[in-house]
Amino acid sequence: MSGSPRELIIVGSGIAGLYVAIRAREEGLRPLVLTKSTLTDSNTRYAQGGIAAAVAEGDSPHLHWRDTVRAGDGLVDRAAARVLTEEAPQRIADLVRWGVPFDTVDGRITLGREGAHSRSRILHAGGDATGLRIEETLQRRVQEGGIDVQEQTVLRALRVQGGILRGLRVASPHGTEDLTAEKVVLATGGAGHLYYESSNPSVATGEGVAIGFCAGAVVRDMEFIQFHPTAFYREGAPRFLITEALRGEGALLKNSRGERFMPRYHPLAELAPRDVVSRAIVAELRRTGDRTVFLDASSIPPDRLRVRFPTIAHFLEAQGLDLSRDLIPVTPVAHYMIGGLATNLHGETTLRGLYACGEVASTGVHGANRLASNSLLEGLVFGERIVGTLRDGRAWEGVPPSPREMGIPRDLPPDSGEDGVEPLRSPEDLRRLLWTNVGILRDRTGLEVAVRRLERRAMEGGALPPGTEDGRDPLADSALTALLIAGGALTREESRGSHFRSDYPRRRAAWKVHLDLRSVARGGPPEKA
């Protein structure tokens, strides 16, 4: 490998990656941050709702923990959720210390409320521009010096020798390069853009999961993709996210007849968990035959809307709509990858030397359904834990195995044969396949078709058999990540949280476990339970 070994390489420039970099610098390290686009392009900047923490009188980490566990539908790792909620106020203090301009009234931080939260505990900045304000602040801190940044650099492979991570291979405008590193932190974000209807930017294609998997890291709970209930829908317009915080302020969901429908589907109505609201909207659209439902914010004072949701109001004005008066057409979209590289409480994966945090990681705090505004917080809390581990020189612990495991590739019931599998020729083919067959509502027939097509594309592009490091094309990495999502969804024969199978519409006690996905050679061990 070329170049001098680095103490720490961080792949990704969202909130998780930048937080780790800044804290590592404070601990005396000089990290290298790699980002496949620019320092300013990540999912973090699009986070409207805010960041959750129990910082108000009458709230507590225990209440935050309880809400997190309830939202996760039986699969939240309770110890991880304790870490998340108890350390949240300290991480908010870090952001305040660094200059994040959280919104205040009379010198006190203002707090919003979102679905499934029992208290108002959502901090926001710039109204509905929280992610952008946090990202801008962290970028300024990074640019103060002591942190090396390399943009337009794509991770292609992790280099492993003797079961230990030794470095990575990257591609940049200057060519392909091998970098050596003592420790690598993957903070590459999610995979929402793999879906045809998505709130995510084009960089969110999940290659960190695929590359970690190929290197031997265990991937966990990939079947749980959270769909955001309310994105602006109009032909030819972007799928602009309409934050859940708007419903927290009193906006109502209505159908094309002007009828409020959420009370028919859940006692919490518009503040029900996201998976419930998304499926309720799908059910309402099927019942009415419409393309969209509508958000009605007319009961909220216009001056409050302008202050609290300036980004949304500005976007809607450009579309010829007034947030305070007009019905806003919305529909569910793919939003958040709950699963990812399995980690322990210190951000360690199953591959020695490889850490993960943020959306690429599966820490267990979200269970089967993420509680609103816990995602930015997760990147901070477990990013801090990674830095603490590096500082203290802790012995590597690794990740305990799950009772359920599935090998990839996996055998499927015979059909017409591989020659009958329709090829995936483009990213759009893949995105349409995931949206149609591995979307909000799933069943065995659609999932089996998806798995066959994705497995074929991953093999043709060099991402399978697992362990291949060189020669993969980007679409193959996307297909492998999509295959992990579809394979997990096909294996989990129940409905839980954000995973809904119309052929198994109820929770099953036998599936109150995490599902680990592990790479195996073709013809290797079969799926086991």
d(CA 446, CA 433): 9
Looking at CATH, the fold of the domain delimited by 2-154+336-392 is given as FAD/NAD(P)-binding domain (3.50.50)
* Most distant pair of Cα atoms in the chain: their distance: 69
Whether the CB-CB separation of 230 and 242 falls below 8 Å is answered with yes
- Residues acting as catalytic residues: 274
- Which distant-in-sequence residues (6+ apart) come within 8 Å of 118 by Cβ? 63, 66, 67
| Average pLDDT by stretches of 10, the chain with 529 residues | 79 95 96 88 67 95 97 96 98 96 91 88 90 92 94 93 93 92 95 94 91 94 96 90 89 96 94 89 93 96 92 94 97 96 97 97 96 94 97 91 83 54 91 97 96 92 69 85 97 96 96 92 39
Would you call 367 exposed, middle or buried from its count of C-beta atoms within 10 A (0-12, 13-18, 19+)?
Answer: buried
| Listed residue (326, 36, 366) closest to 203, CA to CA | 36
Tokens 């392009």 belong to 41
Q: How many alpha carbons lie under 13 Å from residue 245 in its C-beta half-sphere? A: 29
- Pairing label, strands 32-34, 2-11: parallel
Q: Would 2-154+336-392 and 405-519 be classified into the same CATH topology?
A: no
Dihedral sign of CA atoms 235, 422, 443, 479 in order: negative
Domain 405-519, architecture per CATH: Up-down Bundle (1.20)
pLDDT recorded at residue 527:
40
Whether the CB-CB separation of 373 and 51 falls below 8 Å is answered with yes
> pLDDT (tens digit, 9 = 90+) per residue, 81-96?
999 999 999 999 999 9
Strand (E) or helix (H) holding 168: strand 164-172
Q: What angle do CA 143, 337, 514 make, to 5 degrees?
A: 125
Tokens 């990257």 belong to 170
Whether the CB-CB separation of 274 and 375 falls below 8 Å is answered with no
Residue 106, token pair as written in the block: 């009379």
CA-based radius of gyration for the chain = 22
Q: CA 417 → CA 243, 308, 422, 443, distances in Å?
A: 45, 56, 11, 21
> 191-228: buried (b, 16+ CB within 10 Å) or exposed (e) per residue?
bbbbbbbbbbbebbbbbbbbbbbbbbbbbbbbbbbbbb
d(CA 148, CA 13): 12
Q: CA 321 → CA 56, 261, 330, distances in Å?
A: 35, 23, 13
d(CA 468, CA 485): 20
pTM above 0.85, yes or no: yes
What is the domain partition of the chain in residue ranges?
2-154+336-392, 229-332, 405-519
Looking at CATH, the fold of the domain delimited by 229-332 is given as Flavocytochrome C3; Chain A, domain 1 (3.90.700)
3-state secondary structure of 413: coil
| Listed residue (257, 326, 317) closest to 295, CA to CA | 326
3-state secondary structure of 157: strand
Helices 130-142, 78-98: axis angle to 10 degrees equals 70
